């Protein structure tokens, strides 16, 4: 991240109450969503939020499960170069997390899932979206679009040319969401399976003869 968008800068901005808000009225049933960077005290809440968002998706997905391990999630906060954003509303004076995004403009930590040369050869400067999650109660209301706009804004500020992310092929709703927003498939490893023909290791049941007196 640049100095402007890095975690430290974010901490300063949130201390000052900085951050962007979605335009909303209030009387018309709309909800105002603010963006701020993650604080250490948010981590447990975000972890629970992510587990909730991905619960159903994980049941149907063979690909790596989201969120990753809690330990990895906690480590990410300590790592430079990964930007973590929370999207929040106020309900009865209490803050509620309604979306979360995690991004980086460099490959950091153990997340070495891409081939950097692929991008260099094509003169692409990728901005990696590591996580994008909207609370189920808030899906379909334009919040995912707002998150994506924020990420694109950061990508531009960091001089990146493409948003790059990984999504499970059978996460159909997310696929539709990205495709209708001009994302194209780069390449993909597909999980394949072939049933292995084997005889059972245990013999079939056997009827025993009556005992002869
Ligand atoms: C995919 C996701 C980020 C979209 O966020 P969102 O707030 O629902 O998106 P928006 O309201 O801005 O846009 C809705 C669009 O997303 C699609 N969509 C995806 N999931 C949806 C849902 N549960 N309800 C309604 N629309 C949904 C709609 O088809 C709609 O498409 P359109 O605008 O082209 O007609 C969100 O549904 C989500 O967090 N899903 C679970 C986590 C996930 O799959 N994350 C992506 C993994 S990489």
- Residue 167 CB–ligand 1 contact under 6 Å: yes
Ligand 1 atom having least distance to the Cα of 177: 16
**Dihedral-angle region of residue 29 (phi above 0 means left; psi in -120 to 50 means alpha; beta otherwise):** left
Q: What confidence score (pLDDT) does residue 30 get? A: 86
Could you tell me which residues come within 8 angstroms of residue 108 by beta carbon, excluding any fewer than 6 positions away?
79, 80, 81, 82
- Residue 193, pLDDT > 90, answer no
Confidence of residue 87 (pLDDT cuts 50, 70, 90): very high
Per residue in 32-74, pLDDT (tens digit) is 999 999 999 999 999 999 999 999 988 888 876 888 899 999 9
Class of domain 4-179 as given by CATH: alpha beta
Q: What confidence score (pLDDT) does residue 24 get? A: 44
Ligand 1 atom having least distance to the Cα of 145: 12
Going along the chain, which residue ranges are E strands? 34-37, 82-91, 94-104, 126-134, 162-165
Spatial distance between the Cα atoms of 8 and 37, rounded to a whole number of angstroms: 9
DSSP 91-143: ETTEEEEEEEEEEESS--TT---S-HHHHHHTT--EEEEEEEEE-GGGTTTTH
Q: Whose CA is nearest to atom 47 of ligand 1?
A: 167
Mean pLDDT on 68-91: 94
Q: What confidence score (pLDDT) does residue 149 get? A: 97
Q: Whose CA is nearest to atom 12 of ligand 1?
A: 142
CA 160 to ligand 1 centroid distance, Å: 24
Residue of 53, 138, 139 to test ligand 1 pocket, by largest number of atoms within 8 Å of CB: 139
Q: What confidence score (pLDDT) does residue 179 get? A: 94
């Amino acid at each position: 991240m640049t100095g402007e968008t890095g975690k430290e800068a974010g901490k300063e901005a949130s201390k000052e109450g900085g951050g962007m808000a979605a335009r909303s009225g209030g009387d018309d049933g709309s909800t105002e969503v603010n963006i701020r960077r993650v604080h250490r005290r948010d981590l447990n809440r975000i972890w629970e939020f992510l587990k909730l968002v991905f619960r159903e998706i994980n049941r149907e997905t063979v690909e790596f499960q989201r969120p990753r391990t809690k330990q990895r999630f906690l480590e990410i906060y300590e790592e430079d170069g990964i930007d973590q954003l929370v999207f929040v509303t106020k309900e009865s004076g209490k803050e509620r997390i309604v979306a979360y995004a995690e991004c980086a403009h460099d490959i950091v930590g153990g997340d070495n899932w891409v081939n950097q040369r692929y991008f260099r050869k094509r003169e692409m400067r990728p901005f990696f979206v590591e996580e994008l999650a909207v609370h189920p109660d808030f899906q379909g209301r334009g919040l995912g679009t707002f998150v994506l706009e924020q990420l694109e804004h950061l990508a531009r500020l960091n001089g990146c040319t493409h948003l790059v992310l990984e999504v499970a092929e059978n996460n159909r709703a997310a696929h539709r969401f990205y495709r209708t927003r001009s994302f194209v498939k780069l390449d993909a490893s597909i999980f394949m399976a072939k049933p292995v023909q084997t005889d059972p290791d245990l013999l079939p049941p056997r009827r025993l003869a009556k005992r002869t007196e």
